[in-house]
Amino acid sequence: MDISLRLNNIVNLIDKCDSIADIGTDHGYVPIEALKRGVCLKAIASDINKGPVNKAKLNVSLEGLASKIQCRLGSGLKTIKVNEVQGLVIAGMGGNLIRDIIVDSYKVFKSLEFAILQPTQNPEVLREFLFNEGIEILEEKICLDEGIFYEIIKVTPRVRVENKKDLDPIYFEISPYILNSKDPLALEYISNKIEKYNAILEKINDNTEGALKRREEVIKKIQKIKEATTCL
Ligand X SMILES: C[S@@+](CC[C@H](N)C(=O)[O-])C[C@H]1O[C@@H](n2cnc3c(N)ncnc32)[C@H](O)[C@@H]1O
Q: What are phi and psi of 182, to 5 degrees?
A: 60, 25
Contact track, ligand X, 53-72, x by CB under 6 A:
--------------------
Q: Is there binding between residue 33 and ligand X (CB under 6 A)?
A: no
Number of residues that bind ligand X (CB under 6 A): 15
Range in contact with ligand X (rule: CB under 6 A) among 31-39, 91-99, 149-157, 160-168:
91-99
| Residue 70 CB contacts under 8 Å (≥ 6 apart), including other chains | 42, 43, 44, 45
| Length, in residues, of the chain | 232
Q: Is there binding between residue 26 and ligand X (CB under 6 A)?
A: yes
Min CB(91)–ligand X separation in Å: 3
Angstrom CA distances, 141 to 27, 42, 59, 187, stand at 23, 25, 27, 13
Angstrom CA distances, 91 to 25, 27, 150, 160, 202, stand at 8, 12, 10, 23, 31
Among 31, 52, 87, 123, binds ligand X (CB under 6 A): 52
Of 48 and 137, CB closest to ligand X: 48
Min CB(92)–ligand X separation in Å: 3
Among 85, 101, 130, 179, binds ligand X (CB under 6 A): 101
d(CA 6, CA 142): 9
Q: Is there binding between residue 191 and ligand X (CB under 6 A)?
A: no
Q: Is there binding between residue 121 and ligand X (CB under 6 A)?
A: no
Q: Is there binding between residue 24 and ligand X (CB under 6 A)?
A: yes
Angstrom CA distances, 197 to 93, 183, 200, 202, stand at 22, 22, 5, 9
The contact set with ligand X (CB under 6 A) reads: 23-26, 47-49, 52, 75-76, 91-93, 97, 101
